[in-house]
Homo-oligomer: A and B are copies of this chain.
Amino acid sequence: MEFLVRSENRMPPETPPEVRERIRTAERVRALELREAGILKRLWRVPGRTATIGLYEAPDATALHDALASLPAAPWLDVTVEALATHPQERS
């Protein structure tokens, strides 16, 4: 099942660059793992913001939550999830 996930990064601007960089690197590593596991399918940047829109696939909302909670930046992310149904045009 697919989910649309909107995520705003609320890390304060005064966070030291090295902390910010460390989390960003770890985030990238974990995101790659989620991609390889087929959970994270697409990721876009919302222009002008430290925010992303992602297309995720997971068996259910619980598995999705576990994936999102495993992201190193999770404590600073304001996340909203929208369940997606398959459109008849894409059922085959």
Chain A interfacial positions (CB closer than 8 Å to B)? 1-5, 7, 13, 28, 31-32, 42-49, 52-53, 59-62, 64-65, 68-69, 75-90
Interface core residue of A45, A47, A61, A83 (most chain B CB under 10 Å):
A47
Q: SS class of chain A's interface: helix, strand, loop or mixed? A: mixed
Per assembly, the copies of the chain total 10
How far is it, in angstroms, between the C-alpha of A81 and the C-alpha of B4 when the chains are bound?
13
Would you give 22 A-B contacts (Cβ < 8 Å), ordered by A? A1-B1, A1-B60, A1-B62, A2-B44, A3-B83, A4-B53, A28-B89, A32-B89, A44-B85, A45-B62, A45-B87, A46-B82, A47-B68, A48-B64, A48-B69, A48-B79, A60-B60, A60-B83, A60-B85, A81-B83, A82-B83, A83-B83
Find chain B residues with CB under 8 A from A1 CB: 1, 59-62
